[in-house]
Amino acid sequence: MEILVNPPTVKGPAEWFTGDVWFDVVAAPPAPSRLRVNVVRFAPGSCTFWHRHGSGQMLRVTEGTARVGARDGTVIEVHPGESLWTPPGEWHWHGAGPESFMTHLAMWESGDGLAPDAEWAERVSEEQYRGARSDDRPGGGASPERETSR
Ligand code: MN
Protein backbone atom coordinates (compact mmCIF):
# COMPACT_ATOMS: atom_id res chain seq x y z
CA MET A 1 0.00 0.00 0.00
CA GLU A 2 1.06 3.58 -0.44
CA ILE A 3 -0.09 7.06 0.44
CA LEU A 4 -0.42 8.94 -2.83
CA VAL A 5 0.75 12.44 -3.64
CA ASN A 6 -2.26 14.53 -4.67
CA PRO A 7 -1.97 15.92 -8.19
CA PRO A 8 -2.35 19.70 -8.58
CA THR A 9 -5.80 21.23 -8.89
CA VAL A 10 -6.78 21.55 -12.55
CA LYS A 11 -8.72 24.39 -14.19
CA GLY A 12 -11.68 23.09 -16.15
CA PRO A 13 -10.97 23.66 -19.87
CA ALA A 14 -12.95 26.35 -21.69
CA GLU A 15 -14.22 23.85 -24.27
CA TRP A 16 -15.99 21.87 -21.53
CA PHE A 17 -17.06 24.55 -19.00
CA THR A 18 -18.68 27.98 -18.93
CA GLY A 19 -17.19 30.12 -16.16
CA ASP A 20 -14.61 29.14 -13.56
CA VAL A 21 -14.53 25.48 -12.63
CA TRP A 22 -11.69 23.67 -10.86
CA PHE A 23 -11.28 20.01 -10.11
CA ASP A 24 -9.14 17.71 -8.03
CA VAL A 25 -8.56 14.07 -8.83
CA VAL A 26 -9.43 12.11 -5.69
CA ALA A 27 -9.14 8.62 -7.12
CA ALA A 28 -7.78 7.28 -10.41
CA PRO A 29 -5.95 4.08 -9.41
CA PRO A 30 -4.21 1.90 -12.01
CA ALA A 31 -5.96 -0.94 -13.84
CA PRO A 32 -7.59 -3.29 -13.19
CA SER A 33 -9.36 -0.71 -11.02
CA ARG A 34 -11.89 1.35 -12.94
CA LEU A 35 -12.59 3.74 -10.08
CA ARG A 36 -12.64 7.46 -10.87
CA VAL A 37 -13.54 10.21 -8.40
CA ASN A 38 -13.10 13.96 -8.78
CA VAL A 39 -14.04 16.87 -6.54
CA VAL A 40 -15.36 19.63 -8.81
CA ARG A 41 -15.76 23.23 -7.62
CA PHE A 42 -18.03 25.57 -9.61
CA ALA A 43 -17.94 29.37 -9.23
CA PRO A 44 -21.33 31.15 -9.18
CA GLY A 45 -22.99 30.94 -12.58
CA SER A 46 -20.56 28.36 -13.96
CA CYS A 47 -21.57 25.02 -15.44
CA THR A 48 -20.47 22.25 -17.76
CA PHE A 49 -21.20 22.18 -21.46
CA TRP A 50 -23.74 19.61 -22.63
CA HIS A 51 -22.28 16.12 -22.31
CA ARG A 52 -23.05 12.46 -21.69
CA HIS A 53 -21.18 9.66 -19.98
CA GLY A 54 -20.50 6.31 -21.62
CA SER A 55 -20.94 4.35 -18.38
CA GLY A 56 -23.04 6.89 -16.50
CA GLN A 57 -21.92 9.09 -13.63
CA MET A 58 -22.88 9.58 -9.99
CA LEU A 59 -22.78 13.09 -8.54
CA ARG A 60 -22.90 13.86 -4.80
CA VAL A 61 -23.40 17.52 -3.97
CA THR A 62 -21.31 18.50 -0.95
CA GLU A 63 -21.68 22.31 -0.87
CA GLY A 64 -24.06 24.85 -2.38
CA THR A 65 -26.98 24.03 -4.64
CA ALA A 66 -26.40 22.33 -7.98
CA ARG A 67 -28.40 22.95 -11.13
CA VAL A 68 -28.75 20.01 -13.47
CA GLY A 69 -30.35 20.33 -16.89
CA ALA A 70 -31.80 17.75 -19.29
CA ARG A 71 -32.51 17.89 -23.03
CA ASP A 72 -36.27 18.28 -22.46
CA GLY A 73 -35.55 21.68 -20.87
CA THR A 74 -36.05 20.66 -17.27
CA VAL A 75 -33.62 22.10 -14.73
CA ILE A 76 -33.59 20.59 -11.25
CA GLU A 77 -31.79 21.64 -8.09
CA VAL A 78 -29.71 19.17 -6.10
CA HIS A 79 -28.78 19.95 -2.51
CA PRO A 80 -25.87 18.98 -0.25
CA GLY A 81 -26.16 15.36 0.80
CA GLU A 82 -28.20 14.43 -2.25
CA SER A 83 -26.90 12.21 -5.05
CA LEU A 84 -27.81 12.27 -8.72
CA TRP A 85 -27.30 9.42 -11.22
CA THR A 86 -26.96 10.27 -14.89
CA PRO A 87 -27.47 7.05 -16.89
CA PRO A 88 -25.17 6.03 -19.76
CA GLY A 89 -25.82 8.12 -22.88
CA GLU A 90 -28.16 10.68 -21.30
CA TRP A 91 -27.32 14.25 -22.38
CA HIS A 92 -27.18 16.73 -19.47
CA TRP A 93 -25.25 19.56 -17.86
CA HIS A 94 -24.50 20.50 -14.23
CA GLY A 95 -23.26 23.58 -12.44
CA ALA A 96 -23.67 26.15 -9.69
CA GLY A 97 -26.60 28.47 -9.19
CA PRO A 98 -26.12 32.11 -10.18
CA GLU A 99 -25.25 33.44 -6.73
CA SER A 100 -23.11 30.90 -4.91
CA PHE A 101 -20.41 28.31 -5.23
CA MET A 102 -21.24 24.64 -5.64
CA THR A 103 -19.06 21.61 -5.04
CA HIS A 104 -19.81 18.04 -6.03
CA LEU A 105 -18.07 14.71 -6.14
CA ALA A 106 -18.13 13.09 -9.57
CA MET A 107 -17.83 9.29 -9.59
CA TRP A 108 -17.63 7.03 -12.62
CA GLU A 109 -15.81 4.08 -14.11
CA SER A 110 -13.16 4.22 -16.82
CA GLY A 111 -11.07 1.60 -18.54
CA ASP A 112 -10.57 -0.95 -21.28
CA GLY A 113 -13.81 -2.38 -22.59
CA LEU A 114 -15.91 0.51 -21.28
CA ALA A 115 -17.60 3.18 -23.36
CA PRO A 116 -15.84 6.59 -23.47
CA ASP A 117 -15.91 8.48 -20.17
CA ALA A 118 -17.68 11.47 -21.69
CA GLU A 119 -18.77 12.94 -25.00
CA TRP A 120 -18.90 16.74 -25.07
CA ALA A 121 -21.20 18.98 -27.11
CA GLU A 122 -22.20 22.64 -27.16
CA ARG A 123 -22.22 25.33 -24.50
CA VAL A 124 -25.33 25.70 -22.30
CA SER A 125 -27.30 28.79 -23.36
CA GLU A 126 -28.63 31.40 -20.93
CA GLU A 127 -32.18 30.17 -21.53
CA GLN A 128 -31.18 26.57 -20.90
CA TYR A 129 -29.37 27.58 -17.71
CA ARG A 130 -32.44 29.42 -16.43
CA GLY A 131 -34.63 26.45 -17.21
CA ALA A 132 -37.33 27.27 -19.74
CA ARG A 133 -39.75 24.74 -18.33
CA SER A 134 -39.18 25.45 -14.64
CA ASP A 135 -42.48 27.33 -14.35
CA ASP A 136 -44.41 24.33 -15.69
CA ARG A 137 -43.51 22.08 -12.82
CA PRO A 138 -44.95 21.93 -9.32
CA GLY A 139 -42.55 23.50 -6.87
CA GLY A 140 -41.08 25.82 -9.47
CA GLY A 141 -37.59 24.50 -10.11
CA ALA A 142 -34.57 26.71 -10.53
CA SER A 143 -34.77 30.45 -9.99
CA PRO A 144 -35.62 32.33 -13.20
CA GLU A 145 -33.41 35.31 -12.32
CA ARG A 146 -29.78 35.39 -13.23
CA GLU A 147 -28.07 38.74 -13.51
CA THR A 148 -24.42 37.92 -13.92
CA SER A 149 -22.86 36.97 -17.20
CA ARG A 150 -20.90 33.78 -17.45
MN1 MN B 1 -22.10 14.82 -16.09
Asked if the model's pLDDT at residue 147 lies above 70, the reply is: no
Note the pLDDT tens digit of each residue in 70-109.
999 999 999 999 999 999 999 999 999 999 999 999 999 9
Domain span holding position 87: 10-134
Å from CA of 69 to ligand 1 middle: 10
CA atoms within 13 A on the CB side of 81: 0
| Averaged pLDDT of the chain | 90
The answer to whether residue 85 is domain-embedded is yes
Reported pTM: 0.86
Asked if the model's pLDDT at residue 146 lies above 90, the reply is: no
**Total domains in the fold of the chain:** 1
The answer to whether residue 61 is domain-embedded is yes
**CATH number (domain holding residue 104):** 2.60.120.10
Å from CA of 2 to ligand 1 middle: 30
Q: What is the mean pLDDT of residues 54-67?
A: 97
The answer to whether residue 26 is domain-embedded is yes
The answer to whether residue 141 is domain-embedded is no
Å from CA of 60 to ligand 1 middle: 11
Å from CA of 50 to ligand 1 middle: 8
Å from CA of 100 to ligand 1 middle: 20
Percentage of residues in the chain having pLDDT higher than 90 = 81
Note the pLDDT tens digit of each residue in 111-129.
888 888 899 999 999 999 9
